[in-house]
Amino acid sequence: MTHLDRVLTILEVSRKQDYIFSSKKLRENADRSNEIAYVTGSEFFRESAKNLYDEQRNMVYAGGGHTVLQFDSADQAVAFTRAVTEDALRRFEGMEIFAKTLPYDESKTPGENLNALSAALERKKAFRQSSFRQMSFGIEALDSLQNYRPQCAEKTDREKIPENLLAPPEGWEYPKQLADLSGDNFIAVVHIDGNAMGNRVSSLYKNCGTDWESCRKSLRRFSDGIQADFEMAFRQTVQTLLTSDYVLTPPMLPIRPIILAGDDVCFVADGKIGLEGARIFLEHLTALTNQEDKGSYAACAGVALVHQKYPFHQAYNLAEELCSSAKRYGSSIDKDGRVSAMDWHIEFGQLKENLSEIRKDYETEDGCRLELRPVTVIVPDGVNASPAGQRSYDFFRAMCSAMKNEYGNIARSKIKDLREALKQGEVESEFFLQDKKVQDLLYHGFTAMHRTDRERADIYREMFNNGGKLYKKAFADFDGMRRCLFFDAIEMIDHCDFLEVVE
């Protein structure tokens, strides 16, 4: 293939979330995610395009629901695209595929050519033109479990495709229905997205200079490494659950992967371990290194805790919004994206349009904020963590654990009443604490901030020497805003279990 003849083609499954989450059946969600990975991979290309495709010659890289390829001519690219998209539409009803082909511009670097290809695809998507999608004929039965979309007969093609999602550990099964996860309780929909991946790709482009083959091979290794590492982090997360003190009911696992597409991850779990599942995944992921660029990973997580009858697609959208919120917070601490952060919301039944509307309910009557979240989960060495202060998952975990331990010492109703007092503001909450004679709860803020005996001894020593006072307030200053130290913990007190590995 000469430089003058080369053309680049990008194929992308659009509206992936619409396709995957149109059903409330977990097994169906996982199957549809698997189908997206399949139709953007080499095995499907070989079946559909036959002699029009050769992996070594044509593949540039694949990941995240899109694939970039190279061809000898525009005619070959068009023929390949037609064969692949027509076969996909015949076999996978409701899937929408976009395609764009551009000639390789020798006056530009490989990175500039690939950026131009992506930009051209985005322009096409903005107009919703040249997409390939099979619509309903309007005569199918409607399925109430798929938001009243057409009810499809069993498809032999779907059953035959290779299983690309991770298999469960031997002797265990992934849940097939939401009820298998938690009965009538909350489920957690967790969305995780890698940090600063675009910057890392740009660095690869820069390192490759004008050498197309070097760039192509580097991108392929980088993309394959991301897929392998994020899958490994999920495997390790499941293994950690199996070795923890969480009470399991064999052979059913309390977690199921839905999307594992490069750095784009979604899994569902028993609501009580949703936050811990996200935390464990991030910890395993950040311990890994991509072998192509030798860089470690950081990522952010959004966790939507909802009842199993809550619209699943809506829960996923909320998890995405929460992940974006965590990313913004992490970037405010480190613009290079090295901070892994998390945000979450537990839905008690009041449906709101978006996260911004939801968070309006977290302002107190005196203008303070009830929530500390988003919070940092992992701040690597070399990054100044002091701006986060108590806005960390460690602080939340310690505070929530301390509040759980108060059950038996203080009536549950008083702890729940404190939640309502906090909503009224700082002064009202202090009056409540004094009136109910539970002011010692404020010590938990101190113990959660300083979790070791050594730390506490140092603080006591400093207070003794300088005449200071122990901080016993329900609210504290963060970035010019008064935020409650207790509310997140009280809100989650009955809906979050903290896991310990059993040796």
Q: What is the pLDDT of residues 324-369, one digit of tens each?
A: 999 999 999 999 999 999 999 999 877 788 999 999 999 999 999 9
Domain of residue 119: give its range.
7-160
pTM, whole model, 2 decimals?
0.90
Q: Is residue 379 part of a domain?
A: no
Q: Which residues of 139-165 are buried (b: 16+ CB within 10 A; e: fewer)?
A: eeeebeebeebbebeeeeebeebeeeb
Strands lying side by side in the sheet with 264-270: 255-261, 264-270, 186-194, 299-307, 340-346, 375-378
Does residue 260 sit in the same domain as residue 402? no
At which of 361, 387, 411 does a domain end? 361
Residue 413 neighbours by CB under 8 Å, 6+ apart: none
Are residues 364 and 422 in contact, defined by beta-carbon separation less than 8 angstroms? yes
Pairing outcome for strands 340-346 and 299-307:
parallel
Q: What was the pLDDT predicted at 139?
A: 46
Enter the tokens of residue 153: 């007969």
Half-sphere exposure of 475 (CA within 13 A, CB side): 25
The verdict on residue 165 lying in a domain is no
Among 334, 361, 388, the domain boundary falls at 361
Q: What is the domain count for the chain?
A: 3
- Residues 119, 242: one domain? no
For the chain, report the end-to-end CA distance as a whole number of angstroms: 57
How far is residue 78's CA from residue 68's CA, in Å, rounded to a whole number?
14
d(CA 359, CA 336): 27
In this structure, the answer to whether residues 240 and 294 fall within a common structural domain is yes
Same domain, 425 and 350: no
| E runs forming strands in 308-429 | 340-346, 375-378
Low-confidence ranges of the chain (pLDDT < 50): 130, 137-142, 144-157, 159
Which residue has 């896991």 as its token pair? 499
Give the span between the Cα atoms of 240 and 163, in whole angstroms.
24
In a domain, 411, yes or no: yes
Nearest Cα residue to 340 out of 288, 376, 372, 388: 376
Please report whether residue 474 resides in a domain: yes
Residue appearing with tokens 């059993």:
502
Q: What's the angle, vertex CA 388, arms to CA 384 and CA 394, rounded to 5?
A: 105
Q: How far is C-alpha 491 from the geometric centre of its chain's CA atoms?
A: 22
Residues 155 and 199 in one domain: no
Please list the alpha-helical segments (H only) found in 274-390: 274-286, 312-333, 355-360
Q: At 272, is the secondary structure helix, strand, or coil? A: helix
Q: How far apart are CA 35 and CA 130, in angstroms?
A: 21
- Residue 306 is assigned to a structural domain of this protein: yes
Number of H helices, E strands in the chain: 19, 15
In degrees and rounded to multiples of 5, residue 403 shows phi and psi of: -65, -40
Last residue of a domain, which of 361, 379, 408?
361
Question: In 10 A of CB 479, how many CB atoms?
Answer: 10
Q: In angstroms, rounded to a whole number, what is the distance separating the alpha carbons of residues 241 and 247? A: 9
Residues 185 and 152 in one domain: no
Q: Is 25 helix (H, G, I), strand (E, B) or coil?
A: coil
Let me know whether 230 and 331 are in one domain. Answer: yes
Which one-letter amino acid corresponds to residue 363?
Answer: E
Residues 408, 353 share a domain = no
Which residues, 6+ apart, have CB-to-CB distance to 153 below 8 Å? none
Total residues found in the chain within this entry: 503
Q: Measuring CA to CA, which residue among 66, 83, 60 is closest to residue 8?
A: 60
Q: Which single residue is written with the structure tokens 């597409």?
A: 261
Reduced to 3 states, what is the DSSP secondary structure of residue 122? helix
Strand, coil or helix: 49 = helix
Please write the tens of the pLDDT for every residue from 39-70.
999 999 999 999 999 999 999 999 877 999 99
- Asked if residue 286 lies in contact with residue 380, where contact means CB atoms within 8 angstroms, the answer is yes
366 near 426, Cβ under 8 Å?
yes
Instruction: Please state, in angstroms and rounded to a whole number, the distance separating the CA atoms of residues 285 and 231.
Output: 9
Domain membership of residue 366 (yes or no) is: no
Same domain, 428 and 470: yes
Residue with tokens 């199993």: 308
Q: Residue 478 domain-assigned?
A: yes
200 with 295: CB under 8 angstroms? yes
DSSP state at residue 253? -
In a domain, 370, yes or no: no
Q: What angle do CA 279, 24, 131 make, to 5 degrees?
A: 95
Same domain, 133 and 271: no
Q: Are residues 351 and 202 in the same domain?
A: yes
Amino acid at 278: A
Cite the DSSP H helix spans in 5-164: 16-20, 26-39, 42-49, 55-58, 74-91, 110-127, 156-160
Domain at 209, CATH number: 3.30.70.270
Model pLDDT, residue 163: 76
Q: At what angle are helices 212-242 and 274-286 packed, to 10 degrees?
A: 130
- 174 vs 30, 33, 268, CA distance in Å? 10, 15, 10
Same domain, 194 and 302: yes
